[in-house]
Structure 1
Amino acid sequence: MPAPTVLVATDLTARSDRPLDRAALLADQIGAGVTVAHVIEGPGFDREQDEEILRAVRASLPPALTKAAVVSDHGAAPKVLAEFAQNEKADVIVTGTGRYNGLSDFFLGTAVDHLVRHADQPVLVVKRRATAPYRSILLATDYSDGALQAFQTALRLFPEANFEVVNAYSVPFEARTPSADIAEAAREEAEAEMAAFVARAAPPRPGAVRTLVLKGDVETVVEQRVVKDAPDLVVIGSHGRSGWVQATLGGQASTLLKRLPSDVLVVRQARA
């Protein structure tokens, strides 16, 4: 079986060191090789200029990535990065919040948006400086197969981390006919689904997973947990029963992902 590969995108901006450092740390953690990808926007092929850019990419690499493969091509960054990931058979794509996906348009029509929608690989969006492996991870779940795949992917990539798995549930007819019995039944149902969900994921270590079932809308609940617990990483699936991420990518909830201070791993549900 070939060794796993981490594909990391760099745009040579000042903040490119963050995804590069995280990619190096992740590759060491999972025993993977690293391919560094740079996209030269627009057409036009000037061999001398391209070679100069490749030298600049090489010069920007941290000591841990001096032996990494480097690839570069012309075109639209989102499309080219997705193609690189496919060609390199990458296991995960690491990107940052630089020129291609700045905080002002994060997850809205950017390289990250395109990768989440079209790449088969998980996309790790790095905001913070990488100083240690991820130790605390928050996973948002709606108990769907997509959420399960995201959970299992995170468990595989970060087996030593501690997980907080959060579900936000609603109470049927609460606005029209409030009922303590209905509210309690909804909570019990959500907790039973949570127990079954975690059992399906089969965490490798006892005590590695803490679960929370909270009433409310998912965006508010997750944001509150991120503020309270300050996890190193937030993990979400790009498809699911609630369609949260698809709504996030195209609606008001995108502001939540802009504000999250933690890194974010988005796992797109595998096509049937």
Structure 2
Amino acid sequence: MNEGFDTSLPRKLLLATDLSARCDRPLERAKALAAQWNAHLTLLTVREGPQVPAEVVQWLAGAEASTEAEFAARRDIAREFEGAGYPVSLQFADGDVADAILAAAARSDSELVIAGDARINTLGEIFLGSTVEQLARNLVQPLLVVRQRARTPYARILVPTDFSPASRLALETAARLFPDAQLIVFHVHEAGLDGLADQPRGSLDGGSANTSAIRLRCQQFIDSCTLAPQVRARIAIDSAPGTPELLTARYALEHGVDLAVLGLHAQSGMLRLFMDSKGEQVLRGLDCDTLLVSTGERDEDR
């Protein structure tokens, strides 16, 4: 397909942050994307309750202390974004983190939700265990998990594919959001893992006899996607024998990938991968930023 492709960019972004230095990486990426797309950026801070002694004192002080804290936060945000050139707003919410993010995303009509890895912020274990499943299953918007510093725009983007509608949506989303980046369609196929560690770097497929057939299948998959011609010229194809939870992270590291875009679907192997313990291993193992794109289908829809 080469007609009817979507070239629209997000106009509203939602950043989940606790406003501390531990959320600087997702904040910097959110600022970069908002500037790149001239989008409205909303910062959401969720108050789960007192976690440390200083917060207990503030909580006991009641609404007055909370108001003062919000005033200070708004003052700091105004300074942070002075002269940004795009609109910025700050929201506060109470309660469960995932529920608050879902509600804010729906209320604000945000087109992309951004948050940091649980290893570098205190938004709760957003990307570990049941909370990532809740967000991935219920967010209509793509979910960007930021791990790295936003030194440059995303230039090399990995799109793992199992040829499902979910991975097709992931590729189309990556192409729409980042039309100038190189896109790598990466397929992990079944094979024995013997000798995998000895294969040359940059050639995980190891000269398999199935390479031509796999490349043809990948090309057919790309042809089935709705992509602009100039985007197709930026797509590379690669494959590897083994298991996705091992090779996705390895490939991203060895090939200098800036962003991995993963499609989620209620009935696809990709969702089963990212919603079970192996999926946790993938999310933990990836050092690059990760964009989770859901088809929007829920369990009750099936």
2-structure distance, mates of 1:107, 1:77: 13
Match of 1:70, SS state, is strand
Q: RMSD in angstroms over aligned alpha carbons?
A: 2.9
2:245 aligns to what? Answer: 219
TM-score, with normalisation over the residues of structure 2?
0.76
1:179 aligns to what? Answer: none
1-structure distance, mates of 2:182, 2:162: 19
Q: Which amino acid aligns with 1:109?
A: S
Q: Which amino acid aligns with 2:71?
A: R
2:295 aligns to what? Answer: 269
TM-score, with normalisation over the residues of structure 1?
0.84
2-structure distance, mates of 1:82, 1:42: 19
Give 1:210-249 correspondences, 5 Å limit.
210-239=236-265, 242-249=268-275
Does the aligned pair in 2 maintain the 1:38–1:57 contact within 8 Å? Answer: no
Q: Percent identity?
A: 29
1:17 aligns to what? Answer: 24
Q: Which amino acid aligns with 1:199?
A: D
Q: Which amino acid aligns with 1:145?
A: P
Per-residue CA deviations over 1:148-169 (Å, capped at 9, x if unaligned) read 1111111111111111110011
Gaps of 5+ in 1: 173-182
2-structure distance, mates of 1:210, 1:188: 14
Deviation at 1:219, TM superposition (A): 2.0
2:42 aligns to what? Answer: 35
Match of 2:123, SS state, is helix
Q: Which amino acid aligns with 2:160?
A: A
1:86 aligns to what? Answer: 106
2:122 aligns to what? Answer: 99
Change in 2 beyond 3 A, CA 1:136/1:3: closer
Does the aligned pair in 2 maintain the 1:142–1:240 contact within 8 Å? Answer: no
Deviation at 1:171, TM superposition (A): 5.4
Change in 2 beyond 3 A, CA 1:218/1:48: same
Gaps of 5+ in 2: 1-7, 51-58, 193-207
1:254 aligns to what? Answer: 280
Does the aligned pair in 2 maintain the 1:9–1:38 contact within 8 Å? Answer: yes
Per-residue CA deviations over 1:4-51 (Å, capped at 9, x if unaligned) read 100001113322111111111111222211111111115999543332
Change in 2 beyond 3 A, CA 1:204/1:5: farther
1-structure distance, mates of 2:274, 2:110: 25
Does the aligned pair in 2 maintain the 1:6–1:91 contact within 8 Å? Answer: yes
Give 1:57-68 correspondences, 5 Å limit.
57-61=73-77, 62-63=80-81, 64=84, 67-68=87-88
Is 2:126 the counterpart of 1:119? Answer: no
Does the aligned pair in 2 maintain the 1:147–1:240 contact within 8 Å? Answer: no
2-structure distance, mates of 1:199, 1:54: 50
Change in 2 beyond 3 A, CA 1:195/1:67: closer
2:129 aligns to what? Answer: 108
Deviation at 1:77, TM superposition (A): 0.7
1:180 aligns to what? Answer: none
2-structure distance, mates of 1:228, 1:211: 15
2-structure distance, mates of 1:2, 1:59: 29
2-structure distance, mates of 1:168, 1:2: 30
Query: Which moves more between the two structures, 59-68 or 69-78?
Result: 59-68
Change in 2 beyond 3 A, CA 1:41/1:240: closer
Is 2:67 the counterpart of 1:51? Answer: yes
1-structure distance, mates of 2:130, 2:268: 21
2:196 aligns to what? Answer: none
Match of 1:252, SS state, is helix
Deviation at 1:199, TM superposition (A): 1.7
Match of 1:57, SS state, is helix
2-structure distance, mates of 1:76, 1:218: 31
1:165 aligns to what? Answer: 185
Does the aligned pair in 1 maintain the 2:249–2:286 contact within 8 Å? Answer: yes
Is 2:174 the counterpart of 1:154? Answer: yes
Does the aligned pair in 1 maintain the 2:10–2:111 contact within 8 Å? Answer: no
1-structure distance, mates of 2:9, 2:185: 31
1-structure distance, mates of 2:161, 2:212: 16
2:13 aligns to what? Answer: 6
Deviation at 1:203, TM superposition (A): 4.3
